[in-house]
A = this chain, B = another copy of it.
């Protein structure tokens, strides 16, 4: 005898629900930072502020971006004058990235708005549930 096959319902699959949750977060992010930065650009800026200075590939690793993806992101941040690029004296392959003055001046506000987006996204849950969700999600990664 075989066990009863569980039906496949798209709405019950983690992958699908993760996509929906990411979409909603993107919408809320857009409402607060849309005119300035995309979520990915935001992550790169915040990480660069944390790290101070690093290579492009290193920034990609620290923000979970592909080398090809991070190139485009950095290019656009440089075009906006938020990130500067300098040659690495000790390694001719790499260039060192850092926030420009304009970029640094923006960080405190980005943090504030970033917190707001997180609060917006988690708003349907009470604080204990929010902690539970984050703890479980982290274990998936």
Residues of A whose CB lies within 8 Å of any CB of B are 6-8, 10, 12-26, 29, 39, 43, 46-47, 50, 63-64, 110-111, 114-115, 117-118, 121-122, 124-125, 129, 132-134, 136-141
Contact = CB atoms under 8 A, between A and B. Distances in A.
A82 to B, nearest CB: 16
Contacts of A133: 14, 133, 136-137, 140
A103 B137 CA distance: 34
| Copy total for this chain | 2
B111 A124 contact: no
Contact of A14 (B50, B63, B122, B140): B122
Nearest to A11: B138
Contacts of A110: 8
